[in-house]
Copies of this chain bind each other. A is one copy, B any other.
């Protein structure tokens, strides 16, 4: 009954922040050379991986809130990284697609990005790495099923 919080050193939210920070540091420094933010990079990757899709799909896949994404897309459109089209049947919706310039940015960074990912994987060990991904999925999935009414 006497509730106590876990020490901050064993707090899941804090450890998630730290891990993310650690993982992103080299990626951010890579992207800085291309003038990209990590969010813009995520949008490019999602568009490249899943092809043309609407804003809501991109938001889900890149884990961005629609209001944030809305502004990010404006910037990326100005930079010529993506294009937007009205959806045929539904004028509320717009279809996003990556431009050749956008794909070029991915191509420029893909080798280094893959190397960074491999390095982390190597440091953790393949088993640990996969286990971590699965556990993170589990956290998200469980939480989702609770939230989704």
Residues of A within 8 A of B (CB): 3-8, 10-25, 27, 38, 42, 45-46, 49, 61-63, 110-111, 113-115, 117, 120, 123-124, 128-129, 131-133, 135-140, 142-144, 146-147
Given known pairs A124-B142, A135-B124, the reply for A63 and B17 (CB within 8 Å) is yes
Question: Does A3 lie within 8 Å of B115, measured CB to CB?
Answer: yes
Question: Does B23 lie within 8 Å of A20, measured CB to CB?
Answer: no
Copies in the complex: 2
The distance in angstroms between the C-alpha atoms of A63 and B21, with both chains bound, is 9
List 13 additional A-B contacts (Cβ < 8 Å) besides A4-B110, A14-B63, A131-B135: A3-B114, A5-B113, A5-B117, A6-B117, A13-B23, A15-B140, A16-B19, A17-B20, A18-B140, A19-B140, A22-B142, A123-B142, A124-B142
Question: Does B143 lie within 8 Å of A25, measured CB to CB?
Answer: yes
Given known pairs A27-B13, A49-B7, A117-B12, the reply for A22 and B63 (CB within 8 Å) is no
